[in-house]
Amino acid sequence: MTNEIQQVVPHHDDPADPSRRRLLAGLLTAYTASLIPWALAQPAPHADRGAFTALSAILVGRQALDATQTARLYDALVADDAHFPADVQSLLTLINQRQIDPLQLQNVLDTEHSPLAPLPRKIVGAWYLGVVGSGEAARCIDYETALNAVAVADVLKPPTYAYGTYGRWANKPI
């Protein structure tokens, strides 16, 4: 795992389908591209999913996101809220234009009473908890691959998975 944001746009190229590459790259500015340089080369089936991929990557601070997981979370979030794609586009545009640091984002949205204020938590919750929706409408989309499991996978197993042979937990963790 890397927490450092690469400042150099890598020499990605996808001669097989350059139009797809342009699609996602076209959603970013120099500022957001600096947060997620890998995204410039990512294929996306359409602009809405591309915007979700880009915004997700910014919010969860990742330089790579699994395409299947992205699709499943996106579909679940859209199923809950038909405005979700438009909201994602709006928030990505806002971050693009105003160069908002992800750490300051919630504060900015809350301070400005933005209607987009609930959106980051929805997306980050989907990725880190693997849960989409709330209350009785909540459903689990991912567990073992939810990012909170992935983030600690070198030390912990997701509960219900065996840690190891009997007593392995007696050792110092790292």
* Binding stretches for another protein (CB under 8 A): 1, 3-5, 35, 58-61, 101-103, 105-107, 110, 120-121, 124-125, 128-129, 131, 133-136, 138-140, 143-144, 147-149, 151-152, 155-174
Q: How far apart are CA 31 and CA 107, in angstroms?
A: 19
CA separation, residue 43 to residues 18, 26, 49, 76, 105 (Å): 9, 12, 10, 20, 26
Looking up tokens 């080369």, which residue turns up?
A: 41
Write down the least CB distance from residue 121 to another protein, Å.
6
Beta-carbon count within 10 A of 54 CB: 27
Between 43 and 102, name the residue whose CB sits nearer to another protein: 102
Between 75 and 101, name the residue whose CB sits nearer to another protein: 101
Write down the least CB distance from residue 122 to another protein, Å.
10
Write down the least CB distance from residue 127 to another protein, Å.
9
Q: How far apart are CA 28 and CA 35, in angstroms?
A: 10
